[in-house]
Amino acid sequence: MRLRARTTRSTVAVGLGTAALLAVTTLPGSAAPPSASADAPPAWSSSLAAAQPSDAAFAAAAPTCSDTPRKLPINEFTDHRELAVELDRIEEVSGGAVDVEQVGRSNRGREIWSARVGTGEKVVLMTSEIHGNEKVGTDALVDLVEWMGTSTTPKAQRWRDELTLVAIPKMNPDGAELDRRGNDQTWAEVQARHPQLRGAEPSWNYYDTPRTGDDYGSAPGFDTNRDYNPDLSYVPQPEDFPGSSEEAGWYVTPEASTVRDVYRGLQAEFGEVDTYVDLHHQGACYVMPDDPEQFVTLSISGQFVADPSTKPEYAEYAEGYDLEYSKQLNVAVNQALQKAAERRPVLGNVTLYPQGLDLPGTGLGSFQLNGSGAVLFEIRGQTQSLGQQYRAMLTRATYVGLDGLMTSVATGRVADLDPAEYDAIPPRGPSIGSAEQADEDARVLRSAGVDVG
């Protein structure tokens, strides 16, 4: 479907994400034409397979690293308007292989889009920017959708035949436009949408005081990634609030509700959602556990809730829960990145995100309880600590991991991967940041009772 009248290339060239830097005349299977943006090719470009001059600076752990919130440039990331243009362009150049649909609206009325490609029976749902200051995943998703929908290679054709990819890039567009973690929604607006909650206390994940450099006092919002519930038909009740990080969410934010609705629609169409991937960022100053002179490029995980067989309140989900499959998916991601590291070593700085989580209010936890294999990407550095620095490399790393996952599922190879390899992925090392307490990632983990070192 057409999103809007096309915007000419000259009006959107500044500030586009990696996929957006391609000319609109790129044909399926062709290389990006030479242009002023040749220094920022899409993440699937083979030119990014070799080590880049900036890699050494990225990897070298410096004691001056800090997570102290700062106002840093972010213009190179894809904003909401540019995302509309890009998805429109990709849908057109794909010849209909990519189907773009508006699936919802944010609390402030911004469109939330999905991009669907492939006709296979295995469904992979991917989301990005649930936290609006975690932006690399959106550019990687746009690149992935474009390549899958336009490439004429046998590999892309196999993906299209075996898989149905549904991507929801920038699922929290209000937070993304404000460049902050939370969405833009007051508790009064929640109560207006859900009159049964009038008089209830605000939820524990409601931000109405300044944090991480953002003024939630004048524009409150929610951590949308605690608003999910494994009961996909859940209706919030006054006694649910304020709740806690150990408990399920309620679907009071339109952003989480939109993703839930897409998930339910895919369940109705296919019977199950095979795999769910959520793309996040973590603090900028974590180091490798065996080499404190090297920064972590990204961390991954497949464990988000307690085993349902050990927790009575999750008992109804025990039959579909498959932690082994989630581990195999993460192994596929790690293997792809370690293979890529043979040519570009910085891509191999991969660790396991802290384990022992029990967070049914996250999208990953809720959908994992509903039977999906689950994969978390935690990419280095939110915008307030790293800005757009190393954006191209981080997009490449994310893309390579997603490519490995998609190929393993499309070929069926994922079933042959050893889940024990997941447990052998090195744990994330400590943060050496001069403002570790300002690391929002660490703060959230601590609130969930997880030891972050």
| pLDDT tens-place string over residues 46-94 | 999 999 999 999 999 999 999 999 999 999 999 999 999 999 999 999 9
- Cis preceding-peptide flag for 360 (omega within 30 of 0): no
The C-alpha angle with vertex 399 and arms to 262 and 358, in degrees rounded to 5, equals 55
Phi, psi of 157 (to 5 degrees): -65, -35
User: Three-class SS string for 15-56?
Assistant: CCCCHHHCCCCCCCCCCCCCCCCCCCCCCCCHHHCCCCCCHH
The alpha-carbon radius of gyration of the chain (Å, integer) is 20
* Joined tokens for residue 297: 């490029």
269: exposed, middle or buried (C-beta count within 10 Å: 0-12, 13-18, 19+)? exposed
Per-residue pLDDT tens digits of the chain, which is 453 residues long: 433 332 322 233 323 333 333 333 333 333 333 323 335 799 999 999 999 999 999 999 999 999 999 999 999 999 999 999 999 999 999 999 999 999 999 999 999 999 999 999 999 999 999 999 999 999 999 999 999 999 999 999 999 999 999 999 999 999 999 999 999 999 999 999 999 999 999 999 999 999 888 999 999 999 999 999 999 999 999 999 999 999 999 999 999 999 999 999 999 999 999 999 999 999 999 999 999 999 999 999 999 999 999 999 999 999 999 999 999 999 999 999 999 999 999 999 999 999 999 999 999 999 999 999 999 999 999 999 999 999 999 999 999 999 999 999 999 999 999 999 999 999 999 999 877 666 777 777 777 777 765
Q: Where are the chain's structural domains?
A: 52-183+245-447
| CATH architecture observed for domain 52-183+245-447 | 3-Layer(aba) Sandwich (3.40)
Q: What is the pLDDT of residue 33?
A: 31
Q: Which residues pair with 276 in a beta bridge?
A: 125, 374
Average per-residue pLDDT in the chain?
Answer: 90
pTM: 0.91
- 276, 301 Cβ separation under 8 angstroms: no
Would you say 283 and 440 are in contact if contact means Cβ atoms under 8 Å apart?
yes
pLDDT of residue 40: 75
Kind of pairing between the strands at 298-301 and 350-352: parallel
Residue 447 confidence (pLDDT)? 75
pLDDT in the model for residue 442 = 78
Residue 347 to residue 295: CA distance in whole angstroms: 11
Contact status, residue 267 vs residue 125, Cβ threshold 8 Å: no
Cβ–Cβ under 8 Å, residues 19 and 42: yes
Q: What single-letter DSSP state applies at residue 5?
A: S
